[in-house]
Structure 1
Amino acid sequence: MPEHDHYAARGFADIAPTEVEDFFIDGFLRAQYRPSKSFRLAQRAFGTKCSDHELLTWMRTFYGRFFATQFMRHDLPDGPRIGSAGLDLRDGFMMPTYAQGALWLDEVDALLARIGNMEH
């Protein structure tokens, strides 16, 4: 893990399997799904392999890491564009580097609280 990765440094290295991470980034970037919709779709796609709590924990880590590392995009070399979900500024990715993930993280936290209440 890179030392600038605050989530890894704080022990939040609950990284999802690659197919789940890809699922989250595709829904976020290409389809612009809110966390609640991504979660419903992830339940259908991965529900037999993963618990709801796992999916939401991974989703929270995904959003936290994604927003925490946006300032570094300007330092990265140009990379390949995959489908219509490229992260290169020259390809039209217009997310501001100062974007905050609070709305997404708050929604994931609310979903986590809801499933936590359902389990008790």
Structure 2
Amino acid sequence: MGTEDAILIGVDSGGSKTIGCAISLNGQIVGMGYGGPTNTTFISEDDAAYAMREAVAGSLGISLSEPVPQPQVRSIYMSAPGFTADAANRALSDLCPEGQIKVEADPPAVFRAAIPAG
């Protein structure tokens, strides 16, 4: 697989919903996915993990009933208050075995978005 096939996924989640967006390296949107809340202050870690899986799988156009590993996913960046890096790895490592997974709360994500160099 060449780098032209690589996919990056950005996820914004919190207390009400989760939205995932998969893009190619040239910036084309591959897909969008949606899930429920992920803030474990309000819901269980299992429910949060399912919501994150829903959003990521949906952005890749795959079903959670028969998930297929997506080795072309190189990175998943999440703004997910209350969702830990360990929970993210447990939830997504089978879907994206080659992907680097990073979770941050809202403040760092906002600053990254505001700075052109990220």
Structure-2-length-normalised TM-score: 0.26
Q: Which has the higher contact order (CA 8 A, sep 6+)?
A: 1
Q: Which is richer in strand? A: 2
Q: Which is richer in helix? A: 1
Higher Cα radius of gyration: 1
